[in-house]
Amino acid sequence: MIQNPILPGFNPDPSICRVGDDYFIATSTFEWYPGVQIHRSQDLVNWDLACRPLSRAAQLDMRGNPDSGGIWAPCLSYADGLFWLVYTDVKRLDGNFKDAHNYIVTAPVIEGPWSDPIYVNSSGFDPSLFHDADGRKYFMNVQWNHVSNSVGGHPKHPAFDGILLQEWHPEKGLIGPVKNVFAGSSHGLTEAPHIFTRNGYYYLTTAEGGTGYEHTVTLARARDIWGPYELHPNLHVLTAKDAPDNPLQRVGHGQIVDTPDGAFYHTFLCSRPLPGRFSPMGRETGIAKVEWYADDWLYLSGGDIAPALTEVAPEPVERRPVVARETEFTGQDLPDDFQWLRTPYPERIFTLTGNGLRLIGRESLGSWFEQSLVARRQEHPAYRAETTIAAFAPTTYQQAAGLTTYYNRHKFHALMISADDNGTRCLSIQSCAGDWPDGALSFPGEVIPLADGPVELAVAVDHAQQQFYYRQSGDWLPIGPKLDASIISDEGGRGEHASFTGAFVGICAFDQTGQGCTADVIRFRYAPEGT
């Protein structure tokens, strides 16, 4: 059986394609670097990270991008002996404007090398590239209407102004007329277009209802790629909007794929919310088996519309067991579990010394530019993470390093080694409760003086609560109160409308003196509950 989500933890907006016996899924990474995650599988059950293709400044520089900006909704396809990856770099998302620039990169194999980007347009987001049977290529994206209060747009959310379609040529770029081919259904907020062909129809998959609990997969079809498109008899192929008790919520935004033996599946994003509807793992990737009925429309297998936690796999394959992950950072490359924020110049914020990870203190935990934070996704509702700070010698409270559960600049808890007013090393919690800009940094719990030498730090997250621990010798000791872990979630603090990523746990350092004080990390362990 397939166990959903197939890509646990922050892995939204799944675009899937098959090349021979290999399946590939590209997911959004927003402000996390390198950009785009591409996973590979041969059975739809077990998935491995194949690459993060946007890994250099020529392809992606997100310094200054806001929280939940950056890489939105990539589209992955294969044609003409190449992988094609389309992506948006969102530079602004609040207010009327969305500054969203769309690009294409290619590679002969999934591991790369990936090309420098070709710029396409900036008229909206969620770009998609379709390769037709006659060799022509078509580019799609949402048209964003920043003047929607006065003209145009969908009645439910006027800024979502339909799906644009235009022919695109690898050497000539966009050619011919651009047409708004699909306004969407009455559900509104139509985005995430992908085209699939079958039996003389062009099937247009979109996402609707926003990326919260009204999210859906909406299907339409036409005999001509330019339309007109008729809506599915049920409007939606996948959704949990009318199934509040379904364990998978916020279901929407996916793509159709066929298997070598002719079966069909549909990816979707989803979340596994805690009670009270908080989603610390963010939007994850699931997959459902679908069937074509005699009316040439696609339906979820079994006749339901809300996907399940388990799904029938193409072949009987066991899912790999969940295990703890530990690293000592002894290699020359950062382990695949980890990413950092925004900058294409990681050597400015960390180095691998061969004996560990050296963090170089830069800007604060609230920075949008150069932030020394190396972290991995939270993939489970309960886990324990531990790290060892082998060497860190702060001389002022403006220098700090430690362990953090992190969502964005206004949603985090951090257990930090720093210095007091006398320059003596100490340990305390720094927390931002998610209501920025009205809130402020708080310091719950006591300040603990530290002896010289290494310090071990830990956090135990149990659904909506978390507890920090430390030790220099002997037993682990708790520090501070139990904290609200639900704020480290999509809906925490400012809420889902400004939060599109997921909870991370990792190590960080900052130095607001500007001197780049370093912290040496020699161990990090992530252990899901029960491992």
Please give the Cα distance from 97 to 137 (Å, whole number).
29
Whether 488 and 280 have beta carbons less than 8 Å apart is answered as: yes
pLDDT computed for residue 506 by the predictor: 98
Please give the Cα distance from 231 to 331 (Å, whole number).
53
CA distances from 318 to 25, 134, 240, 422 (A): 20, 40, 27, 58
Residues in Cβ contact with 266 at an 8 Å cutoff, skipping those fewer than 6 apart: 205, 217, 237, 238, 254, 255, 256, 257, 287, 288, 290, 298, 300
pLDDT computed for residue 151 by the predictor: 67
- 148: pLDDT strictly greater than 80: no
328-347 residue pLDDT tens: 999 999 999 999 999 999 99
- Note whether 2-311 and 325-528 share their fold: no
Please give the Cα distance from 7 to 398 (Å, whole number).
38
Report the CATH superfamily, name and number, of domain 2-311.
Glycosyl hydrolase domain; family 43 (2.115.10.20)
The pLDDT of 92-117, averaged and rounded, is: 95
Bigger pLDDT: 433 vs 141: 141
Burial class (CB in 10 A: 0-12, 13-18, 19+), 429: buried
Please give the Cα distance from 347 to 80 (Å, whole number).
36
CATH of domain 325-528: 2.60.120.200
The pLDDT of 32-60, averaged and rounded, is: 98
Please give the Cα distance from 288 to 344 (Å, whole number).
36
CA distances from 326 to 330, 346, 386, 509, 521 (A): 12, 22, 9, 20, 13
pLDDT computed for residue 436 by the predictor: 53
For the chain, the domains span 2-311, 325-528
- 497: pLDDT strictly greater than 90: no
Is beta strand 191-198 parallel, antiparallel or unpaired with respect to 173-182? unpaired
Element (H, E) at 205: strand 201-208
Bigger pLDDT: 66 vs 433: 66
pTM, to two decimals:
0.96
pLDDT computed for residue 372 by the predictor: 98
pLDDT computed for residue 94 by the predictor: 84
Q: Is the C-alpha dihedral spanning 309, 315, 317, 319 positive or negative?
A: negative
The pLDDT of 20-37, averaged and rounded, is: 98
- 496: pLDDT strictly greater than 60: no
pLDDT computed for residue 445 by the predictor: 94
- 437: pLDDT strictly greater than 60: no
Whether 144 and 125 have beta carbons less than 8 Å apart is answered as: yes
pLDDT tier for residue 157 given thresholds of 50, 70 and 90: confident
The pLDDT of 147-160, averaged and rounded, is: 77
370 counts as catalytic: yes
pLDDT tier for residue 499 given thresholds of 50, 70 and 90: confident
Give the SS3 label for residue 418: strand
Percentage of the chain beyond pLDDT 90 is 91
62-64-70 Cα angle (round to 5): 40
Mean of the per-residue pLDDT values of the chain: 95
pLDDT computed for residue 493 by the predictor: 78
pLDDT computed for residue 530 by the predictor: 87
Of the residues 167, 370, 456, 529, only one is catalytic, namely 370
